[in-house]
Amino acid sequence: MTSYAKPNIGLLMAVTAVASFGAHVFSPAMPAAARELGVTPGAMQLNFTIYAAGLAVGHLFVGPWSDRFGRRPVMLASLVLFVVASFGAAFADNMGSLLAARLFQALGASATPVVGRAMAKDGAADTTDAARQIAVLGLAVSGSPVLAPLIGGLIAEFTGWRGIFQFMAWFALSMLAICYWKLPETRRPAPGGAVERGMIEGIGVLLRTRQFRGYMLGCAVAVGAVYTLLATLPFIYAEVLGLSSGQIGACLLVLALGFTLGVFLSLRLVGRVGPRSMVVAGSLVGLTAGPMLLIVHLTGSLNVVTVTAASALLLTGNGMMMPNAMAVSMAGEPRLAGTASGLFAAALQFIGGICAAVTSMIYDHSLLPTALFLVVLCGMGQFFLQYDTRPST
């Protein structure tokens, strides 16, 4: 396929959801998987770290590769790897093999959000239009974790946690077939053997751009806060509140609906206030989650409603921030849109993985360490977004 047409936004939404779906669908079954494999909650929480690490490494390469070789072949190759790794995870018989499968699964999933956003940026008229297009893709990213925990919880209830990975494999295989036939190329591959100015040089250009760096780091810390919650809450729900896998999935669905609300608000308001204002507003909404969870713990008011409601605020703020920050960050170097998208996403997953690893070390079967860590992370995010994104004078 050699046409450089604007891709169907519905198809882009579906394929972009693969990485997020793979990250969240297993969450409700983590306590059950930990019991079957005979590992501690902290060890099972490493699945977030490994998955995030795989996404981070993959993001660094798939963005420049999509600039060099075109969007379509990179997307198809990544989906193939995701399918194979998903089947491998379904048959894992120990924690090591499960984590290895999750690593390759994440490497395979890494192209779906990066290349999807780059394709949307390819067809956008300006930065505001790109923000709208990426926000639409954000609905898929938010809709995926809305459905993923519920689907994962139901599958785990009836078939066990291994059935979740079989479901992921067949879902990705169907997306691979559809993309092969229906996904057009949106960018002419770069000539020669280098990616624009070269991969390393392109990354250097982006990192020296203060606004790109500020938005990237601010959003990366915000994603780290989300990973901290997602690594902790399933065990709080199961061990402290006594919920089943299906019930945990329903609670995580509420959190994902918070992200969907944030994306919806972004779509409605970005045309009026601009993408930069939406980033600031979203960061302030998310900032309230940590203190509220701390209050819930200190006042002894820990229950399903209070924990879920406070946590949903963080996801709502992220939904308002992410599409706008990504659009603004890619606007400065349009020819490096794929590299910018990949570097931005890699930073999100790298910081998110570190935060998940820290969470696994500090988790003490209570909400207190998580709440304190969220307060620190949200404060750091405010620093990066308020200071490092100011226009240079």
Q: Structural domain boundaries of the chain?
A: 9-186+200-387
Q: 272-316: per-residue pLDDT in tens?
A: 888 888 888 898 898 899 899 999 999 999 999 999 999 999 999
Nearest Cα neighbor of 135 from 343, 278, 348 is: 278
pLDDT > 70? residue 330:
no
Q: Which residue has the higher pLDDT, 69 or 168?
A: 168
> Whole-model pTM above 0.85?
no
Angle at 17 between CA 12 and CA 20, to 5 degrees: 150
CATH number of 9-186+200-387: 1.20.1250.20
Nearest Cα neighbor of 62 from 7, 22, 115 is: 115
Q: Which residue has the higher pLDDT, 368 or 139?
A: 368
Q: What pLDDT sits at residue 109?
A: 92
C-alpha span between 313 and 70 (Å, rounded): 38
Where residue 214 falls among pLDDT bands split at 50, 70, 90? confident
Where residue 234 falls among pLDDT bands split at 50, 70, 90? confident
CB 354 within 8 A of CB 50: no
C-alpha span between 107 and 111 (Å, rounded): 8
State how far Cα 217 lies from the chain centre: 15
3-state secondary structure of 4: strand
Where residue 157 falls among pLDDT bands split at 50, 70, 90? confident
The mean pLDDT of the chain is 83
Distances (CA, A) of 146 to 35, 227, 257: 25, 15, 6
Pull the structure tokens for residue 254.
């509420």
Give the position of tokens 């919806």: 264
Q: What pLDDT sits at residue 97?
A: 94
Where residue 84 falls among pLDDT bands split at 50, 70, 90? very high
C-alpha span between 248 and 246 (Å, rounded): 5
Phi, psi of 6 (to 5 degrees): -75, 125
Q: What pLDDT sits at residue 393?
A: 43
